């Protein structure tokens, strides 16, 4: 199949803007990793007018998808886990062109998974987990059991990805296959939620307790990125200051839920600052004991 695609990728390889090209072939009949295409041709360029360009091909009853992505977009995907397929393509794909060993370095970067990047990813997944879990709990208490169940499934997905990151791996598209191998206790929770003979109400009720415990024991480590950032300032932060900080942007949408949870768990302390209104105060935040 590579021979058939060679004219396409050789044209791209001749362009000075191209940093690297890899190919990933479908390994089984149903392949979410390749979006069910027979082959993915993934090209990373230095910069492009269109940061993510996609083109589909068909040849000899086979299908192929070509993705051309600029370097900035690729880096954003790696940092935020917003397009996990691309990370899998880089990790598992066959390099067919590599300018100045760019692809070698990128593969090594993903394998190493440095602690700083890991802490950021944990904060992203943790903030989503807190938001989803609290919404599920609120719906359960309002007797909206099916909606609570739906959000609990989502919460377990966030918990699963968080557990994978804790072990030093990037979450894949088939995250439950990873979790079953490296964190079987969380996999068991997922099975209990979706396969139990209990009523939906009872299943969600039991899972709220289990997930609350799983969140609680991970809170400080998962929030390390935010807590360390907050220590960079001598005095307390307003929420507005934290929300617009460049290092928080990848989880800014879920920051409110995260701050409230960490405050409840006393990992973050609240300082009250007087306003012009009588008995009305601004809330300011700082890490516990700092």
**Percent of residues, the chain, with pLDDT higher than 90:** 75
Pairing of strands 94-98, 18-25: antiparallel
| Average pLDDT, integer, range 20-28 | 92
Domains and CATH numbers, the chain: 2-112 (3.30.460.10), 115-287 (1.20.120.330)
Which stretch of DSSP H or E encloses residue 42?
strand 39-45
Q: In degrees rounded to 5, what are phi and psi of residue 272? A: -100, 130
Q: How do residues 196-241 score in pLDDT, each as one tens digit?
A: 999 999 999 999 999 999 999 999 999 999 999 999 998 999 999 9
Band of pLDDT at residue 2, cut at 50, 70 and 90: low
pLDDT at 82: 80
This prediction's pTM: 0.84
| Average pLDDT, integer, range 36-45 | 95
Alpha helices in 171-223 (DSSP H): 175-182, 184-195, 200-222
pLDDT at 1: 63
- Distance (Å, whole) CA 207 – CA 190: 9
DSSP 8-state class, residue 165? H
């Amino acid at each position: 199949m590579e021979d058939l695609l060679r004219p396409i990728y050789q044209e791209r390889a001749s362009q000075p803007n191209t940093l690297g090209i890899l190919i990933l072939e479908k390994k089984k009949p149903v392949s979410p990793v390749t979006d069910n295409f027979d082959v993915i041709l993934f090209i990373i360029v230095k910069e492009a007018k269109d940061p993510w360009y996609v083109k589909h091909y068909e040849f000899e009853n086979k299908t192929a998808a070509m993705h051309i992505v600029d370097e900035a977009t690729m880096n954003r995907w790696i940092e935020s886990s917003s397009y996990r397929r691309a990370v899998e393509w880089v990790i598992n794909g066959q390099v067919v062109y590599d300018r100045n060993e760019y692809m070698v370095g990128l593969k090594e970067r993903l394998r190493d998974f440095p602690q700083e990047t890991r802490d950021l990813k944990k904060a992203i997944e943790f903030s989503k987990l807190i938001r989803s879990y609290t919404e599920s709990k609120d719906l359960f208490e309002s007797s909206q059991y099916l909606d609570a169940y739906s959000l609990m499934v989502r919460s377990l997905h966030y918990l699963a990805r968080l557990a994978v990151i804790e072990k030093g791996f990037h979450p894949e598209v088939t995250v439950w296959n990873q979790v079953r191998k490296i964190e079987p206790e969380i996999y068991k929770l997922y099975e209990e939620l979706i396969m139990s003979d209990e009523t939906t109400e009872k299943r969600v009720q039991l899972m709220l307790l289990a997930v609350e415990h799983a969140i609680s024991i991970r809170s400080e480590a998962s929030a390390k990125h935010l807590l360390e950032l907050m220590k960079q300032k001598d005095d307390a932060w307003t929420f507005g200051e934290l929300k617009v900080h460049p290092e928080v942007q990848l989880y800014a949408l879920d920051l409110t839920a995260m701050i409230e949870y960490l405050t409840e768990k006393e990992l973050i302390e609240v300082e009250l600052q007087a306003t012009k209104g009588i008995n009305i105060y601004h809330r300011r935040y700082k890490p516990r004991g700092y």
